[in-house]
């Protein structure tokens, strides 16, 4: 199948390609109408944040990125500034260290845990996490808990890590460059 010079294959890829094509057309039309109506157009540029730049460069990841209203935060673990595991064998302390790092990352973008919409927890001991997390998480998420998944895993990046948490947050005010016209 062809659409505006683009070739779409059969099966699932065809559906995905058509949906991508429709999304591009829809987004283009929205920007065009905003431009014609004189509204400022927001060109969202990714804003990356490294909590521990040397560690993140060594392992090949960025701890967080914000594009427009969305903030995606890589899994956080309990480590010091050199990347060494901390609070060895202590689930409660590792959890508190992880949430402490996540709080710093959210604050970089002017956000709090109230802006978190997805929280995914990976732990090597789910029973222990459930035992120690209830009250602490209730203090972080005062009004609503986010969506997400809790998964018990065989292991994390280093054997000393007992817990890893990744987040997605919604920022009420988008970032980006306003393009005047």
| Residue 77 shares a structural domain with residue 158 | yes
Does 99 lie in the same domain as 128?
A: yes
| 73 vs 102: CA distance, rounded Å | 8
Q: Is 162 exposed, middle or buried (0-12, 13-18, 19+ CB in 10 A)?
A: buried
* Dihedral sign computed on CA atoms, order 60, 86, 76, 43: negative
Structural tokens at position 85? 């595991």
Domain with residue 164: its CATH number is 3.30.1330.40
Q: Are residues 28 and 68 in the same domain?
A: no
The pLDDT confidence band at residue 4, using thresholds 50, 70 and 90, is very low
Rounded Cα distance between 120 and 163, Å, is 11
* Residue 181 is assigned to a structural domain of this protein: no
Q: Can you give the pLDDT at residue 39? A: 57
Q: What is the pLDDT of residue 109?
A: 96
| Helix-then-strand count for the chain, H and E | 4, 10
> Mean pLDDT score of the chain, rounded to an integer?
84
Kindly state the percentage of the chain with pLDDT values over 90.
70
Range of the domain at 35: 2-39
68 plus 153 within the same structural domain: yes
Six token digits for residue 24 = 């591009």
Confidence of residue 177 (pLDDT cuts 50, 70, 90): very low
**Averaging pLDDT over each range in 4-18, 24-38, 157-171, which range is the top one?**
157-171
Q: What is the mean pLDDT of residues 134-146?
A: 95
Q: Is residue 111 part of a domain?
A: yes
**Of 138, 122, 125, residue with least CA distance to 91:** 125
Place of tokens 């967080």: 64
pTM, two decimals, is: 0.74
Per-residue pLDDT at 180: 43
Answer yes or no: is 179 within a domain: no
Residue with tokens 């790092």: 101
Would you say 179 and 40 are in contact if contact means Cβ atoms under 8 Å apart? yes
- pLDDT digit string (tens) for 113-130? 999 999 999 999 999 999
The 10s digit of each residue's pLDDT in 28-74 is 666 666 666 665 555 578 999 999 999 999 999 999 999 999 999 99
Domain count, the chain: 2
Res. 11: pLDDT tops 70? no
Burial state string for 102-141 with b = 16 or more CB within 10 A and e = fewer than 16: beebbebbebebebbeebbbbbbeeebbeebbeeebeebe
In 3-state terms, what secondary structure has residue 54? helix
106 and 60 in one domain?
yes
54 and 142 inside one domain: yes
Q: Read off φ and ψ for residue 101, nearest 5 degrees.
A: -65, -40
Q: What percent of the chain has pLDDT over 70?
A: 73
Range 7-16 average pLDDT: 42
């Amino acid at each position: 199948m062809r659409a505006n010079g683009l070739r779409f294959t059969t099966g699932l890829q065809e559906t995905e390609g058509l949906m991508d094509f429709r999304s591009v057309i829809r987004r283009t039309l929205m920007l065009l109408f905003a431009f014609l109506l004189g509204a400022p157009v927001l060109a969202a540029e990714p804003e990356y944040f490294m909590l521990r730049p040397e560690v993140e460069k060594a392992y090949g990841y960025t701890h967080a990125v914000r594009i427009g209203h969305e903030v995606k935060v890589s899994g956080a673990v309990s480590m010091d500034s050199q990347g060494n595991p901390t609070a060895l064998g202590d689930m409660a302390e590792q959890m508190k260290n992880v949430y402490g790092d996540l709080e710093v990352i959210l604050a970089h973008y002017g956000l709090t845990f109230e802006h978190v919409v997805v929280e995914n927890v990976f732990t090597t001991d789910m029973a222990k996490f459930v035992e120690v997390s209830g009250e602490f998480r209730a203090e972080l998420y005062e009004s609503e808990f986010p969506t997400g998944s809790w998964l018990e895993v065989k292991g994390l990046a280093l054997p000393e890590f007992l817990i890893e948490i990744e987040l997605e947050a919604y920022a009420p005010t988008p970032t980006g460059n306003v393009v005047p016209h």
